[in-house]
A and B are shown apart, each in its own frame.
Chain A
Amino acid sequence: MDFSLNEEQQLLKDSVDRFIREEYDLDKRRELAGSSDGYSEENWNKMAELGWLGASLPEEYGGFGGGPVETMVVMEAFGRGLVVEPYFATVVLGANFLLQGGSEALKQDLLPKLAEGKVKMAFAYAERQSRYDLHDVEFKAEKSGDSYVLNGEKGVVFHAAAADKIVVSARTGGGSRDAKGITVFLVDGGANGLSRRDYPTVDGLRASELTFDNVQAEAVLGEVDNGLSLIETVVQHGIAAVSAEAVGCMDVLLDTTNEYLKTREQFGQPIGKFQAVQHRMADMFIKCEEARSMCYLATMKLDESEALERAKTTSAAKVQIGESARFVGQQSVQLHGGMGMTDEMNVGHYFKRLTMIDTLFGDHNYHLKRYSDM
């Protein structure tokens, strides 16, 4: 058992941390979130050059041979910076779909480009009726020659506007809530018949509603009709990664609040001297540490071969992250008093991101139920 980073991982961490510290402050983030693309192409190229986009990819596809731990290191730092670039959608979700479900030719073609920053991706799965059920898919794909034609709508697709390639879950058989009959497709971001309605999100990212009108699929990822297990595997990677992002966010809130409690004075003393406040801070620290532990666990279990064990751990982590994020977010605002309510301070921005992370791939209630049913 060993919870420490190896030398290469430590170097990666140092370099991402430095970037966030020196080049990604809140003003910069605000500016990027408000720009027309919602992120910086320049930053994206830099992330490619510094090897972060390929850090978790196998060497044979242009990566550096890392895995989930490298992703965790990057996501944690990106959580600290509230990074708006589509790393999560591209590298965590997109690349994992290709790795786990793409043909050899597709991997050879796309993954090196992805590592170089030349291909961005998005994952379209949610539907209006599906809520958090990945198997609730009405979106249709029909065979046409040796390819498939896609029709339907997908909602809240993060970073779809930036995506060169979009991964889509579709129904190829069975009823709309059957586990079987789901297939995963790869579609070009600029495909004919694909239209987007773009919008910002409450936490400063970008997402879109997508409408597919006879869109030609480029490839099938994984097996036809058996796509759900591929989706679940990739989503497990996704949950581990957003857990790391959440831990990064919580670390900043803890530091910021800690500092505030030492400097803000009321009744002639720093507010951190009040025991009620001290206990709250202790609780925040505990929640944060628990989240970190569950994030590590979920990350390291991604290589676990037993599917049930992996699924349980992922749900457990999502429950813990949801609860920790909620407490730490709310209490950071609370302990800052009026200042915590201002757009000017960083606290609210982390609080909002943490709130929205709970909605990703199922909230705390959803995963608590999943866990207890497993």
Chain B
Amino acid sequence: MNLEFSGEHLAFQQKVRTFLEENLPSDIQDKMKGGLRLERDDHVRWQNILAKQGWMAPAWPAEYGGCGWSTVERYIFDEECGRAGAPRVIAFGTKMVGPVIYTFGSDEQKAKYLPRILNNEDWWCQGYSEPGSGSDLASLQCKAVRDGDHYIVNGTKTWTTLAQWADMIFCLVRTSNEGKRQEGISFLLIDMDQPGIEVKPIITIDGGHEVNMVHFTDVKVPVADRVGEENKGWTYAKYLLQHERGGTAGISNSKAKVGRLKEIAGGIKAGGETLMDDIDFKRDVAKVEIELQALEYTDLRYLMTAASGAPIGAEVSMLKLRGTEIQQRISELLMQAMGYYANPYMPEAMEYGWNEEPVGFAEAPPLAPAYFNIRKTSIYGGTNEIQKNIIAKMVLGL
């Protein structure tokens, strides 16, 4: 047992740090630190920089364009990105559909789509959930009927994150109603830019537009864009969910946020001192920091286990569950730090470059909306209740 980084790792850390210092655009960094909303262009700009460096998808196997980094190196990379305030790469391409394509896709699909993901040319979104199928995903109804070399797709997907910015959507569709529900699902790659696809915004409780309903009316999809076998899509879907959940813990990001929380609370007056001198607040911060540490070292333990080849299963659910609870708690404390100044709703102050006199505290505007918004994390990627069901099954051997 040994927690130290080797000299090689320290050198790697320095390399990443230098890269971030030299390449992360300062406006994007400012937005991240201030908790301001990123535009499509911000993500694209940053991802183009990573793509150019060859760092879009470090975890992919080297033969498909991954970095060939060790587990520890990947951890260091995430950690440094979080510290520097770099946006996380949008997961739909690199962490979701990419691995499905290189694991289950055809050679043509690999040749066509993987480079486009690595070069940041396609923005992907995820078409799993439907109005009637959330936790019970296998009940999905969106239908694909074979017509020669094509499928004709009809139905509705919902909660589709950033579909309004997407070029491509990967969809679970029903191709058979026979047998078990899980055995009639196929996995399609669909171009968003075609007739019959309509994207309708869903506004969330923080006033933001990040999710959508996507309607499909007689959309033609080449059979060549089906991943793997017909009616075997559920297997690929589950494989993907495993990846998705692993990515939702957001540990490096949470660490950066705890740092910010201390900084902000240190500048807020309370009881004649600062809020960081307030014993109750200080303890709340300490508590979440300890929880985060426990999560981080759990994550690291699992990563090292996985690196040695042992399978990781329901443990991923635990990372998702605790990771999201911790994100929610940090966000709550950030809002609470503002006291009364959590109340004002100042959307204009959440725009980058707004430089009028702040209302109360300059940091305040995005914090309450962020707290409202972050309630989503215990819902998406499989709700936390569903994660507990999975963990319970494993623990009890059910």
Contacts A131-B269, A199-B359, A368-B280 hold; do A337 and B135 have CB atoms under 8 A apart?
Answer: yes
Chain B residues closer than 8 Å to A355, beta-carbon distance: 335, 368, 371-372
B271 x A202 contact (CB < 8 A): no
B203 x A266 contact (CB < 8 A): no
Q: How far is the CA of A199 from the CA of B348 in the complex (A)?
A: 11
B343 x A156 contact (CB < 8 A): yes
Closest partner residue, chain B, to A329 (CB atom): B375
Q: How far is the CA of A202 from the CA of B365 in the complex (A)?
A: 10
B175 in the interface (beta carbon within 8 A): no
Q: How far is the CA of A342 from the CA of B213 in the complex (A)?
A: 12
Distance (whole angstroms) from the CB of B114 to the closest CB of chain A = 30
Q: How far is the CA of A156 from the CA of B384 in the complex (A)?
A: 36
With an 8 Å Cβ cutoff, the count of chain B residues facing the other chain is 50
B379 in the interface (beta carbon within 8 A): yes
B203 x A131 contact (CB < 8 A): no
B369 x A129 contact (CB < 8 A): no
Closest partner residue, chain B, to A349 (CB atom): B205
B residues 269-314 near A (Cβ < 8 Å) are 269-272, 275, 280-281, 284
A267 in the interface (beta carbon within 8 A): yes
B375 x A333 contact (CB < 8 A): yes
Q: How far is the CA of A352 from the CA of B372 in the complex (A)?
A: 7
What 0/1 readout, one digit per residue, does chain A (121-146) give for beta carbons within 8 Å of chain B? Answer: 00000101111110010000000000
Distance (whole angstroms) from the CB of B371 to the closest CB of chain A = 7
Closest partner residue, chain B, to A277 (CB atom): B385
Chain B residues closer than 8 Å to A368, beta-carbon distance: 280
Contacts A342-B205, A365-B280 hold; do A348 and B341 have CB atoms under 8 A apart?
Answer: no
B344 x A199 contact (CB < 8 A): yes
Q: How far is the CA of A348 from the CA of B158 in the complex (A)?
A: 18
Q: How far is the CA of A351 from the CA of B389 in the complex (A)?
A: 26
Distance (whole angstroms) from the CB of A39 to the closest CB of chain B = 16
Distance (whole angstroms) from the CB of B385 to the closest CB of chain A = 5
By size class, the interface of chain A is 35 or more
A348 x B388 contact (CB < 8 A): no
A177 in the interface (beta carbon within 8 A): yes
Chain B residues closer than 8 Å to A342, beta-carbon distance: 202-205
A341 x B342 contact (CB < 8 A): no
Q: Which of A126, A177, A200, A348 contacts B340 (CB 8 A)?
A: A126
Q: Which residues of A contact B (CB under 8 A)?
A: 126, 128-133, 136, 155-156, 177, 197, 199-203, 205, 207, 209, 266-268, 271, 274, 276-277, 330, 333-334, 337-338, 340-344, 348-349, 351-352, 355-356, 359, 363, 365, 368-369
Q: Which residues of B contact A (CB under 8 A)?
A: 129, 133-136, 139, 158-159, 202-205, 207, 211, 268-272, 275, 280-281, 284, 335-336, 339-346, 359-361, 368-369, 371-372, 375-376, 378-380, 383-385, 388-389
With A128-B269, A267-B136, A355-B335 known, 17 other A-B pairs at CB within 8 A are A126-B339, A130-B269, A156-B360, A199-B344, A201-B344, A203-B343, A268-B136, A268-B139, A276-B389, A341-B211, A341-B379, A342-B203, A342-B205, A348-B372, A355-B372, A356-B343, A365-B336
Pairs A–B under 8 Å by Cβ, sample size 14? A126-B340, A131-B269, A155-B340, A177-B272, A202-B372, A205-B343, A207-B343, A333-B379, A334-B375, A337-B135, A340-B379, A343-B205, A348-B372, A365-B284
